[in-house]
Amino acid sequence: MTDTTLSTQESIFTSTARDWSSDMTTFKGVPWGKAMMWIFLLSDTFIFTCFLVGYMVMRMTVTEAWPVASEVFALTVWGVSVPLLLIAIMTFILITSSGTMAMAVNMGYQRRKWAVFWLMLATALLGASFVGMQCYEWSKLIIDEGIRPWGYAPDHDLGAPQFGSIFFMVTGFHGLHVSVGVIYLITVAIRVVRGKYDHTNFEIVEITGLYWHFVDLVWVFIFAFFYLW
């Protein structure tokens, strides 16, 4: 019970049984904030997966043709229609922001506060530009393509009327996560340079990073299921 040394020699099963039964902190070496963030992300995983399963049910039960994604989301550049161009740019922006966030976490553990600040600010800016592009995408779908939360505007018909409802709900919920993440990143970045976390090991940067990487993770699934499937 009082043995707090962390052995890496024993098997994963022995170490897990010992960790859970040690009558103290279960997640050894994990700051409580990080464990809580992981548990929050787990609950968020359930929400997003339930949405995606709902989408799957819609796709499988609908008896009308589903709108063709690569035509709906095509972007016309200099008179040439390029499928999924905007979505590809959004995907690369989000991956880049994940990269800068990973750098910020690394700088945090080296206690380089200004590097953390600028990297987190860059991450927030990339996230904000992602939301901006999503606004553009939505307005294009609503105004040009006539997609409505249920069905289509008069003289517009791309197929199954369920498309708008599930698309706007899931991408909207993800966009909300990105927007909240941008605010979260900026808040933590400012608090880091103001010295709020000087007495800690800057694990707050890693916790913020976990949230941000999760947003990127959800986009991986949305990209595959909504835009490519």
Partner 1 sequence: MATEGQQHPIKIYFLIWLLLFVLSFFSYLVDFYHLEGNLRWFLIVVFMLLKAGFIVAIFMHMKWERFALIFGILTPPLALVVLMFLMAIESDYAWSTRVVYMGEDPAPKPESPSHYKKSEEEKGH
Which residues here bind partner 1, judged by CB under 8 A?
Answer: 6, 12, 15-16, 19-20, 26-31, 35, 38-39, 41-42, 45-46, 49-50, 53, 56-57, 59-66, 68-71, 83-84, 88, 91-92, 95-96, 98-99, 101-103, 105-106, 109-110, 160, 201-203, 206, 209-210, 213-214, 216-217, 220-221, 223-224, 227-229
* Least distance (Å) between residue 195 CB and partner 1: 18
* Least distance (Å) between residue 82 CB and partner 1: 9
* Least distance (Å) between residue 95 CB and partner 1: 5
What residues contact residue 98 under an 8 Å CB cut-off, 6+ apart? Answer: 212, 213, 216
Q: Which is nearer to partner 1, 74 or 193 (CB)?
A: 74
Give CA–CA dist 170/90, Å, rounded. 16
With CA atoms as reference, report the closest residue to 189 among 135, 119, 125.
119
With CA atoms as reference, report the closest residue to 183 among 219, 131, 223.
131
* Single-letter amino acid, residue 205: V
Give CA–CA dist 89/97, Å, rounded. 12
Q: Which is nearer to partner 1, 22 or 179 (CB)?
A: 22
